[in-house]
A and B are shown apart, each in its own frame.
Chain A
Amino acid sequence: GQNIDQPTEMTATEGAIVQINCTYQTSGFNGLFWYQQHAGEAPTFLSYNVLDGLEEKGRFSSFLSRSKGYSYLLLKELQMKDSASYLCAVRDSNYQLIWGAGTKLIIKP
């Protein structure tokens, strides 16, 4: 079966750095996505990785290792508005997105 694993919840301090991990086992791989979802709102796109390595976009970076079936999202200089759920999704061999359950990130002052 296909499986995406992420921690259920993480807590971090304003101004700090946090790393949210995602491991996956899917039938085929055509890229990995990270989305942000604030409570009661729609998911919004953050990043896309298809090759191994780090993609940096402002305060957010995303890393991929295809051989390990592993990705992480790194958030720097945390702000209160970063409190949200972060969803990891993998595009499988049928070009469908398989979604993790999401990691709820709580930022404390």
Chain B
Amino acid sequence: IAGITQAPTSQILAAGRRMTLRCTQDMRHNAMYWYRQDLGLGLRLIHYSNTAGTTGKGEVPDGYSVSRANTDDFPLTLASAVPSQTSVYFCASSEDGGAKDTQYFGPGTRLTVL
């Protein structure tokens, strides 16, 4: 089934630990995105990639890093987790990042940092 998968579904993490959230899409989309969603706030863009081999910073990039080695995968790494990174993380993809481009979302990862 075509779409976006994320792993893990949920995770409880001790502060200071390193964590990588995985995201894979099989729609051959060029653009991919990582958002965090917190209660009372809109989705906030962390990092994005318009095509394999390139990445860019979004609104809230501090404490996070990404890589885009190929079209399908876009992992998000928290180098040293802090409690303020407790959130629901959504990965999304779209064809080309153009004006009418529609973003499709993965099921999300619920992360708790203690």
3 residue pairs, one from A and one from B, having the closest CB atoms: A99-B42, A42-B105, A99-B43
In the complex, besides A96-B45, A96-B48, A99-B43, 6 extra interface pairs with C-beta distance below 8 angstroms are A31-B100, A33-B102, A42-B107, A87-B42, A97-B103, A101-B40
Is B63 part of the binding interface, using a Cβ–Cβ cutoff of 8 Å? no
Which positions 87-114 of chain B face chain A at CB distance < 8 Å?
90, 97-100, 102-108
Is B58 part of the binding interface, using a Cβ–Cβ cutoff of 8 Å? yes
**Nearest opposing residue in chain A for B41, CB measure:** A101
Q: How far is the CB of A34 from chain B (nearest CB, A)?
A: 11
Total A-B Cβ pairs within 8 A? 46
Interface residues of A (CB under 8 A from B): 4, 30-31, 33, 41-45, 48, 50, 87, 89, 91, 95-102
Q: Does B42 contact A42, Cβ atoms closer than 8 Å?
A: no
Q: Does A43 contact B42, Cβ atoms closer than 8 Å?
A: no
Q: How far is the CB of A74 from chain B (nearest CB, A)?
A: 20
Q: Which residues of A contact B104 (CB under 8 A)?
A: 45
Main secondary structure on chain B at its contact with chain A? loop
Is B44 part of the binding interface, using a Cβ–Cβ cutoff of 8 Å? yes
Given B42, B45, B90, B97, which contacts A4 in the complex, CB threshold below 8 Å? Answer: B42
Given B45, B58, B97, B105, which contacts A43 in the complex, CB threshold below 8 Å? Answer: B105
Q: How far is the CB of A4 from chain B (nearest CB, A)?
A: 6
